[in-house]
Structure 1
Amino acid sequence: MLVQALYNVVDRIFLGAGVNQMSIGGVYLIFPIFLFLMAFGMLIGVGGNSLSSIKFGEGKKTESEIILGTSMVLSIIFGVLISGIFLLNLKWFLKIFGASDTLMPYAYDYGKIILYGAPFQMVGFAMNNFIRGEGNPRAAMVTMFIGAISNIILDYVFIFPMKMGVQGAAWATIIGQILSCIWVVRYFLSDRALLRLKKETFKLDLHYCKQIFALGSAPFAMQLVASGINIIFNNSLKIYGGDLATSSMSVIYSVSQIAFMPIFGINQGIQPILGFNFGAHKYRRVQHTLRIAVVAGTVYMVLNWAFTMLRPDLLVKIFISRPEDYAVIKDIAIPGLRIYNSMIFMLGYSIIGSSLFQAIGKPKIGFILTMTRQLIYLLPLMLIFPKLFGLTGVWSAMPVSDVLSTLTTTYFLVKSGFLVKTIHNDDEFVLGI
């Protein structure tokens, strides 16, 4: 997710400087496809990593390697299928996503190229979860930097000297994804990996497929629902604010992606630690890790919220650097950014806290939390608020949903026994859910 966020953010920064604000809006309309790809990447990557960490914590290395091989095969299959489905009728999908006649050329030129890289994105994203699961964050960081740095360099070359526009941004992204994918595969073929990718384990094990899908169902559902919500969001922007509102949302979402990168990094980094220690019945370590992560995430998000409220103009100018474009978009983007991110100070706690349940093999709880945040709360708000408050209602739906979802997460964390009461003895701990 971090890598994909970087790809999207970097593309928009260069497009805002080298093309115009409409190109940013067009690229944003491809985002439902990215979310769809990420949904299946998380289904396989998070589910496989969680299951593999638990098995490895139980001392079952061979089973962990079979899970690794199965996850690799699944990521290839889903990557090819998803790419083919969207490429068959991309313009039809883009109209559903809210593309206007003005934004359609930008969205189509970007999307038709990006989809060719979907299989590489899927493999790289899904398998990088296993690198983190081995407790090797440096190697996982290398994966991120290989793709991100190459994307930055190629974005500049393709957009400025070569004048390739949105197509240049798309090619830069694909090349970065291919390089990241190659790095991840080579890692698991090398002696550096605790779990090796072997010929005998590179197969589809249906028994483990079911368990992978169960453990990955919560983040999968979250991203799948997010894709649907994004489509509704885009169409509301088109109705109540037009193309400038869509381009503003591209900026707002890019700012949010930058803000959430450390939170997602903490979130994904602690999952193998939580899963391993839970599998080894070391519940005090689970609680200690969770508390440190929650405190760190909360402090960071409070600081981020304060800066967003005080100087939103500086954040908008990162993506809309051309003075003539900034003058046109600022009156929509700045108020929208303030409203949309008005409750992010509580999300460090909420996002990190909810990740506990998928890490310890409680996918049902994780699924419930996912559905309350992005479906039960956000969907009705997205349908009702714009009709009552217009464009302001579009921006306001997310922060209200954030408050309600945080309260729900708190209830389950307290009930689990990991949040409030300090665990003094592993043998006496009883999971409350």
Structure 2
Amino acid sequence: MKNNEHIDAPQDGAGAAEQSGSSGEPSRGRKDNTHQLGTLGVGKLLLRFSVPAIVGMMVQSLYNVVDRIFIGNGVGALGLAGATVSFPFMLIFMAFGMLIGLGGNALLSISLGEGKRDYAGKVLNNSFVLIVIISAALTVLGLAFLEPLLRFAGASETILPYAGDYMRVILYGVVFNGIGFGMNNFIRGEGNPKMAMATMLIGAVLNIILDPLFIFVFNMGIGGAAWATVISQTIAGLWVLRYFLSKDSLLGLKLSAMRLDRQVILRILALGSAPFAMQIAASALNTILNNQLQQYGGDLAISAMGIIYSVAMLILMPIFGLNQGAQPIIGYNFGARKNKRVVRTAELAIFVATAITTLGWIVTRVFPEQIIQAFSQGNPELVQIGSSAMGLFFVMFPLIGFQIVAGNFFQAIGKPKHAMLLSLSRQVLFLIPLLFILPGFFGLKGVFGASPTADFLSSVVTALFFFLELRRLKRDTSGHPDVAVAAAMPE
């Protein structure tokens, strides 16, 4: 493979002519808005594409927080621990959604930037088929090996019944979750961020409504929380299907384009490999973390970490939304060889992300006990453990925004090797070893203190790669040769 990690896509269309609708097939009826990615002001574009994603992600994150509050207060600390032990498997489902959704959307965005509309349509349809196949396989495997998997993830005998009741139901909705979560990226990639936001809002709002109904009114316990999630995911998935089967979609789902193409699949997997690896690493990390928490702090320590993660995700979700908004802008302009716009988008996204994480750090430093109390059902021991752990966990939080955006930047410009290295640096290179080393010296405090230590080290590594790449792009003002739509074909 070339040193710059770039190879060209097959020339299956007529360049820019395809983008304007002259690709040999009739228009689906919706105006092609992708050209705005290369012409409108970067700040205005980032606002237009990111705000809907941020709103949707915030509502989803708020659902996660409310979900944990309902479980903590309606089921108790053991129910909260059961949901926390199930989290590694939720991350695996997200990992495959990101592998296909983000990888395929990155390829789609770059292809549209190069004017290859037919190729982009093939990417969309191949991605849909992959998501359905993978999600169905995860459901079957998960149901077949549920109990041993939960034990491996750190479930004690007291937590296991709660985790089993929760995950058994969640597995029924994996296919629709995959469609709603994975394919929603392509709605944004087609230049329709408001519709993508609507998908997230529908699922999250419905979930927030159903949670208290099933837990408190119908007395369904932790299983009720799981059913609320599955029903909302199914509705969101059907909403996404409706979009791609209608004339609202620029490309649309078509049986003729669903035949799997080996080259397209390899390119999707290559570009999606970084976020996929990051989520798989996160799943492995959470499994290790749960076991270390069980060893050094017991069930309540796991419950406390579940609360802290919910709060952390509430803060980080706007950054994930910012990334979703920035990705098609960066990818399109990189494909169109407009480096100044690529650099400007990345710099602006990092500034906003850092402001968000700094604000989150301030809130968690000022109100740690009040935050934990909202989840704890008045359990004083859980409040004490959780508030102390929160102080440690968020020490380096202002750095995380930069680290997340910079890692996504390399994925958006078609450099999956760089993106994967930076994505894995925090979790695999630093955090997992620290989870084994620090508790031996500091006990439970070492478990909670491993995260900020890894945040600092990974941010240093990310800064080195990112600023070197930015300097190269600024210097190469004429554009770059061999623009990639496929960053990693086998050698």
Smaller-chain TM-score bracket: over 0.9
1:411 aligns with 2:464: yes
Separation of aligned partners in 1, 2:434 and 2:450: 5
Separation of aligned partners in 2, 1:10 and 1:117: 20
Which residue in 1 is equivalent to 2:438? 385
- Provide the secondary structure at the position in 1 that maps to 2:355: helix
Are the counterparts in 1 of residues 85 and 155 from structure 2 also a CA contact under 8 Å? yes
Which residue in 2 is equivalent to 1:101? 157
Separation of aligned partners in 1, 2:200 and 2:342: 27
Instruction: Quote the offset at 1:359 in angstroms.
Output: 0.3
CA displacement 1:232-276 (0-9 Å, x = unmatched): 000000000001101101101111111111111101111111100
Instruction: Quote the offset at 1:380 in angstroms.
Output: 0.9
Which residue in 2 is equivalent to 1:25? 81
- Provide the secondary structure at the position in 1 that maps to 2:265: helix
CA displacement 1:138-161 (0-9 Å, x = unmatched): 111100111011111111110111
CA displacement 1:308-347 (0-9 Å, x = unmatched): 1111122223322x22x2x231110001111111111111
| Partner AA of 2:469 in structure 1 | S
Which one is further off, 11-20 or 290-299? 11-20
Instruction: Quote the offset at 1:5 in angstroms.
Output: 4.5
Equivalent residue for 2:185, pick from 111, 115, 129: 129
Which residue in 2 is equivalent to 1:426? 477
Which residue in 2 is equivalent to 1:138? 194
Separation of aligned partners in 2, 1:4 and 1:218: 23
The residue correspondences of 1:323-402 to structure 2 (distance < 5 A) are: 323=378, 325=379, 327-402=380-455
When the two structures are superposed, what TM-score results if normalisation uses the length of structure 2? 0.84
Which residue in 2 is equivalent to 1:221? 277
* Larger RCO (CA under 8 A, 6+ residues apart): 2
CA displacement 1:326-375 (0-9 Å, x = unmatched): x2311100011111111111111111112110000000101111222211
Are the counterparts in 2 of residues 113 and 167 from structure 1 also a CA contact under 8 Å? yes
Which residue in 2 is equivalent to 1:196? 252
Which residue in 1 is equivalent to 2:4? none
Which residue in 2 is equivalent to 1:112? 168
Indicate how the Cα distance of structure 1 residues 139 and 373 shifts in structure 2: closer, same or farther if over 3 A, else same. Answer: same
When the two structures are superposed, what TM-score results if normalisation uses the length of structure 1? 0.95
Separation of aligned partners in 2, 1:7 and 1:65: 33
- Provide the secondary structure at the position in 1 that maps to 2:253: coil
Separation of aligned partners in 2, 1:415 and 1:425: 12
Instruction: Quote the offset at 1:6 in angstroms.
Output: 5.0
Which residue in 2 is equivalent to 1:90? 146
- Superposition RMSD on alpha carbons, in Å? 1.8
Indicate how the Cα distance of structure 1 residues 117 and 422 shifts in structure 2: closer, same or farther if over 3 A, else same. Answer: closer
Which residue in 2 is equivalent to 1:316? 372
Are the counterparts in 1 of residues 337 and 479 from structure 2 also a CA contact under 8 Å? no
Are the counterparts in 2 of residues 76 and 123 from structure 1 also a CA contact under 8 Å? yes
Equivalent residue for 2:357, pick from 289, 301, 311: 301
Which one is further off, 215-224 or 369-378? 369-378
Equivalent residue for 1:264, pick from 305, 320, 341: 320
Instruction: Quote the offset at 1:164 in angstroms.
Output: 0.4
Separation of aligned partners in 2, 1:244 and 1:151: 26
| Partner AA of 1:101 in structure 2 | E
Instruction: Quote the offset at 1:306 in angstroms.
Output: 1.0
Are the counterparts in 2 of residues 423 and 429 from structure 1 also a CA contact under 8 Å? no
Which one is further off, 408-417 or 11-20? 11-20
Are the counterparts in 2 of residues 305 and 341 from structure 1 also a CA contact under 8 Å? yes
Are the counterparts in 2 of residues 284 and 424 from structure 1 also a CA contact under 8 Å? no
- Provide the secondary structure at the position in 1 that maps to 2:256: coil
Are the counterparts in 2 of residues 10 and 151 from structure 1 also a CA contact under 8 Å? no
| Partner AA of 1:329 in structure 2 | L
In the TM superposition, structure 1's runs of 4+ consecutive aligned residues that sit over 4 Å from their partners are 3-7, 428-431
Instruction: Quote the offset at 1:115 in angstroms.
Output: 0.5
1:54 aligns with 2:105: no
Instruction: Quote the offset at 1:121 in angstroms.
Output: 0.8
